[in-house]
Amino acid sequence: MKTSWIFILTAILLLNHPVVVGQNLKIIKVKGEALIRIENNETRNQAMERAEEQAKLDAIQKTFGTYVEQQTDIVMDEGKINYSMIAGTRMKADWIETTKIEFSYPEQKTGNSNENFFYVKCEIEGIAREIGSKANIDIMPLRCPQKECAASDFKNKQNLYLYFKAPVEGYLSVFLDEGDKVRRLLPFERAENQSSVKTQADTPYIFFEKPKGTMASGNTDELELYTNKSFEYNTLYVVFSEEPYVKPILEKSMIDADNYIYPKSISPALFQEWLADCRAASPSFQDKKIKIKISKN
């Protein structure tokens, strides 16, 4: 996917033994695996992503145990939670870094109706940290600059907005993984070397919205989605921490012949390394993944 920007006026640590970090939380090497069936309505890449999430889930459950859902366990402080989410399941640990991952494709199986089923197996090794108390943030992509426009499906050349709210003040940045590149959407282009945007507690934000009643947005960037395929999936990464963090090294933005600006970018591999370093450095650091679909018609 290409991400077109319209600018108005500006247009860890790999450890051999568990160690104790902030809040007395242990970082431990873990290993897991998962075998899933590739469904008819998903691509092989989507199935691989699902298998990876299930393998992470298996690894954490083997080491830290299964989360028992009790109301008194879920909320430790007002606006804070003591669990992590993987594959829609509450977990007792955060996944910090993947150190090894392998996929294989076992022989197909035939069901009772002679239908052929295909499977993908994921074996994974990584580093996880037992969960501590962290902010329970509220985020959602929008088709219009109102919370009621929440959506995950977008049309070609449709604008993208983002709703965000946190119970504590902190530092926010947003990235979009297009597959071959990860582009930084927030802070805005004019922020240059700024690492994040400071946000206030209990304050709702809608990003990428042009201020009402003005012809110019100043420091605000408007974001337009684009694809030349029939449809494709991208991943929004919303990064938040109560502590400041340093942005990754980014490649410069580009301007095409139509004066669209392509935001600063980083390779997916280096982006994942940066996320792993930040997760290891701060228990309050979290990154939320949101899948969005862009359709040509």
Confidence band, pLDDT 50/70/90 cuts, at residue 209: confident
pLDDT at 110 > cutoff 70: no
For residue 256, with 0-12 CB atoms within 10 Å meaning exposed, 13-18 middle and 19 or more buried, which class applies? exposed
CA distance linking residue 276 with residue 98, whole number of Å: 8
Of residues 241 and 114, the one with the higher pLDDT is 241
Residue 22 above 50 pLDDT? no
Contact 169, 198 (CB under 8 A): yes
Find residue 77's DSSP bridge partners. 80
pLDDT reported for residue 220? 67
Whether the pLDDT of residue 127 is over 90: the answer is: yes
Spatial neighbors of 86 by CB under 8 A, at least 6 apart, are: 53, 56, 57, 60, 95
pLDDT for position 256: 79
Can you give the pLDDT at residue 111? 61
Give the distance from CA 129 to its chain's centroid. Answer: 18
Q: Tell me, rounded to whole angstroms, the distance of Cα 8 from its chain centroid.
A: 27
d(CA 83, CA 66): 11
Give me the percent of the chain exceeding a pLDDT of 90: 50
The whole-angstrom separation of Cα 167 and Cα 184 is 24
The answer on pLDDT for 13 being more than 60 is no
Of 195, 187, 287, nearest to 249 by C-alpha is: 195
User: Which of the pair, 10 or 141, is modelled with greater confidence?
Assistant: 141
Residue 38: both structure tokens together:
């590739």
Beta bridge partners of 207: 162
Strand duo 93-104 + 84-86: pairing: unpaired
Instruction: Look at residue 88 and tell me whether its pLDDT is greater than 70.
Output: no
81, β-bridge pairs: 75, 134
Q: b/e for 128-165, b at 16 or more Cβ within 10 A?
A: bbbbbbbbbbebbbbbebeeeeeeeebebebbbbbbbb
Q: Is the peptide bond before 244 cis (omega within 30 degrees of 0)?
A: no
Contact 257, 247 (CB under 8 A): no
Mean pLDDT of the chain: 81
User: Tell me: the pLDDT tens digits for 175-196?
Assistant: 999 989 999 999 988 877 899 9
Contact 236, 190 (CB under 8 A): no
pLDDT tens, residue by residue, 130-169: 887 788 899 999 999 999 999 999 999 899 999 999 999 9
Q: What is the pLDDT of residue 147?
A: 92
Least confident of 202-206, 256-260, 283-287: 256-260
pLDDT at 4 over 50: no
Q: What is the pTM of this model?
A: 0.76
Q: 107 or 64, which is more confident? A: 64
